[in-house]
């Protein structure tokens, strides 16, 4: 065994010291300029690769699903008919609700302000994050909720820079969101599991949760408004001698296929 090379050891210690210094600078918030500069330089390349990647993925997906198109078309037509009917009913109910609110003097519901952002990058290490091209310049603030089209919750903003922000996805193990099941009104906490599935925690063993039920945000998290769609109950496992059920949620969105998101402004 050779002895440790002195010059290598010095190089190692210098690099280590430099990294620790940078971590300290970042902790004090002194790295925002280099961060914004690096993002500004790399943005065109990130955008280019993201666009090419999306084009390839969509073409590939088209060819892979080509054989099932007829079946899928029939299913979608049937779902469309059903939604048409539900939409008509809901419109009537909304009108009725509006009239009742006026009569009771409750005022109009406030409309949520939101901005569209493009997904331009992903985290390379632990955790489920992605990068969006809107930052504090556009009014994004920490903990803003991020949704995909149709009010499907994607995650929340965990870091804001001048021109870009980092979004923590629902599928991350650190993400905790208060939710409620739409039909049974059972409430719980949704937590990601290494980016694979969503688990619904804190659901008592006697709660009557049904498979296929839609799960919505309950609004108990300050930053995430009520009524955003999280997903559907995929599996419910009840074990004897346990106080909580094991519930798996199928997310409403495929996090890997998201190209654009909306950030809810406050």
Partner 1 sequence: MRNILIFLAVLLAAVLQASVMPQLALANVTPSLVLAGVLAWAIWPQEQKPIWIFLVPALLLDLVVGRPFGLLTLNLMLVFFGVDWLASSFFKQSNWPAIFSLTLIGVLFFELGNWLLSWIFAALGLAASLKFSAFYFYATWPTSLILNGFLCLVVWWLFNQIRFIKSNGPITKFK
Closest CA to 232 of 161, 196, 194, 179: 179
Rounded Cα gap, residues 123 and 15, in angstroms: 23
Give 91-147 as a 3 state SS string.
HHHHHHHHHHHHHHCCCCCCCCEEEEEEEEEECCCCCCEEEECCCHHHCCCCCCEEE
Instruction: Mark the segment that binds partner 1 (CB under 8 A) among 46-54, 91-99, 220-228, 243-251.
Output: 46-54
Rounded Cα gap, residues 50 and 47, in angstroms: 5
- Rg (alpha carbons) of the chain, rounded to whole number: 23
Q: Is 17 in the site for partner 1 (CB under 8 A)?
A: no
The interface mask with partner 1, positions 137-176, x = CB under 8 A, is ---------------------xx----x-x------xx--
When the beta carbons of 34 and 227 are compared against partner 1, the nearer one is: 34
With CB under 8 A as the contact rule, the residue among 125, 212, 240, 243 that binds partner 1 is: 125
Give the helix, strand, coil percentages of the chain, each rounded to 5.
Answer: 40, 30, 30
Q: Is 88 in the site for partner 1 (CB under 8 A)?
A: no
With beta carbons less than 8 A apart as the criterion, state whether 191 and 248 touch: no
CB of 85 to partner 1, least distance (A): 38
DSSP of 154-208: EEEEEEE-SS-EEEEETTSTT-EEEEEETTT--EEEEEEETTTEEEEES-BTT--
When the beta carbons of 41 and 93 are compared against partner 1, the nearer one is: 41
Q: Is 8 in the site for partner 1 (CB under 8 A)?
A: yes
Please report the sign of the dihedral spanned by the C-alpha atoms of residue 192, residue 193, residue 198, residue 203.
negative
CB of 19 to partner 1, least distance (A): 5
The interface mask with partner 1, positions 48-87, x = CB under 8 A, is -xx-xx---x------------------------------
With CB under 8 A as the contact rule, the residue among 86, 87, 193, 211 that binds partner 1 is: 193
When the beta carbons of 53 and 75 are compared against partner 1, the nearer one is: 53
With CB under 8 A as the contact rule, the residue among 136, 189, 195, 232 that binds partner 1 is: 195
Rounded Cα gap, residues 166 and 142, in angstroms: 10
Instruction: Mark the segment that binds partner 1 (CB under 8 A) among 29-37, 68-76, 78-86, 110-118.
Output: 29-37
For tokens 């330089």, the residue is 41
Applying CB under 8 A, the residues found at the interface with partner 1 are 1-2, 4-5, 8, 11-12, 15-16, 19-20, 22-23, 26-27, 31, 34-35, 38-39, 42, 45-46, 49-50, 52-53, 57, 120-127, 129, 131, 158-159, 164, 166, 173-174, 191, 193-196, 256
């Amino acid at each position: 065994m050779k002895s440790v090379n002195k010059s290598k050891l010095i190089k190692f210690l210098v690099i280590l010291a430099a990294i620790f210094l940078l971590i300290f600078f970042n902790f004090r918030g002194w790295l925002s300029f280099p961060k914004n500069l690096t993002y500004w330089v790399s943005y065109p390349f990130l955008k280019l690769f993201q666009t090419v990647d999306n084009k390839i993925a969509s073409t590939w997906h088209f060819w892979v699903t080509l054989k099932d198109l007829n079946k899928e078309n029939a299913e979608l037509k049937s779902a469309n008919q059903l939604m048409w009917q539900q939409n008509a009913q809901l419109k009537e109910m909304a009108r009725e609700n509006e009239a009742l609110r006026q009569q009771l003097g409750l005022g109009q519901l406030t409309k949520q302000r939101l901005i569209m952002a493009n997904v331009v990058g992903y985290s390379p290490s632990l955790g489920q994050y992605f990068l969006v091209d809107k930052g504090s310049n556009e009014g994004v603030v920490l903990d803003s909720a991020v949704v995909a089209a149709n009010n499907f919750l994607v995650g929340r903003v965990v870091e804001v820079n001048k021109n870009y922000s980092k979004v923590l996805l629902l599928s991350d193990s650190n993400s905790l969101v208060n939710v409620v099941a739409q039909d049974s009104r059972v409430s719980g906490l949704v937590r990601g599991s290494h980016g694979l599935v969503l688990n619904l925690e804190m659901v008592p063993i006697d709660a009557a949760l049904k498979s296929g039920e839609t799960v919505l945000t309950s609004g108990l998290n300050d930053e995430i408004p009520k009524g955003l769609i999280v997903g559907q109950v995929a599996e419910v496992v009840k074990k004897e001698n346990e106080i909580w059920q094991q519930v798996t949620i199928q997310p409403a969105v495929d996090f890997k296929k998201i190209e654009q998101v909306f950030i809810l402004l406050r």
